[in-house]
Amino acid sequence: MDTAMDRASDATTRAGYDLWADNYPAVAHNPMMRLEQEIVESILATLRPRRALDVGTGSGRYLAVLARAGAASVVGVDFSMAMLRHAALQRCATVVKPLIACADALRLPFGRKAFDLINASLMVGDVANLDAWTREMARTLARNGHLVYSDFHPSWTEFGWKRTFRSVDGAPHDLAFVPHTIEQHLAAIDAAGLRAVAIREPRFKEDSDPDVKAFRRRWKNPPVVVVFHAHKEL
């Protein structure tokens, strides 16, 4: 059920992304995002989708990834128009020209069974109602379709980590996220009629990146992201 609190939270989150947009790269710009993309791309490479949807496309970094994975049709949706202006530029970088649309992830403007693959990178942390989100993903998936998505690992809550960014003027900002446990994810996947195929909880490998080295020393290298692959069999 849509509540006033949910709408207020959505508006605050959207305002944060609008502020971040002009300083948000269209590539995986930090070690966690690069780790996440490495895992997700390895899954996408095995699926060869025809019709792919990127939910929470942001600046559009996964549009080209989905095209490289073999999708003949790629669509990206996001609720931030400021982010989508940057995603529009990514259409020029692919042979397949993706479509982009401003939309709420809980009310996608597509019919049932419209896509063979749905990808959602690190956006479900913006969703309070995980069950409703997963049901909407399942509604839009075709039979034998795949849902591949990532979230901030529960270790973020355990260690009190914050999601931060700098706006184009250099000012620091926090962007809140909704924590979800792995058990909550699995329950939502099951309730939506999907089958969990794989769960990946990657950790940083040995790396020359000084930020990764510092992280490993300080935090003893817990998982930083969790990636889910679910399948719609019926």
Residue 87's pLDDT is 82
Beta-carbon contacts of 14 under 8 Å, excluding residues fewer than 6 positions away, are: 79, 80
At 197, give phi and psi (nearest 5°). Answer: -95, -40
- Check if the beta carbon of residue 90 is closer than 8 Å to that of residue 98: yes
Predicted confidence (pLDDT) at residue 157 exceeds the cutoff of 50 = yes
Residue 95's pLDDT is 58
Predicted confidence (pLDDT) at residue 55 exceeds the cutoff of 50 = yes
Q: Any idea where the domains of the chain sit in the sequence?
A: 4-231
Beta-carbon contacts of 3 under 8 Å, excluding residues fewer than 6 positions away, are: none
Residue 90's pLDDT is 64
CATH topology of domain 4-231: Rossmann fold (3.40.50)
Range 98-120 average pLDDT: 96
Residue 86's pLDDT is 82
At 207, give phi and psi (nearest 5°). Answer: -150, 145
Question: How distant is the alpha carbon of residue 23 from its chain centre?
Answer: 18
Residue 3's pLDDT is 46
Give residue 7's pLDDT band: very low, low, confident or very high (50, 70, 90): very low
Stretch among 4-13, 171-180, 194-203 having the lowest mean pLDDT = 4-13
Range 110-117 average pLDDT: 98
DSSP state of 204: P
Task: Give the whole-angstrom CA distance, residue 171 versus residue 150.
Answer: 28
Residue 217's pLDDT is 94
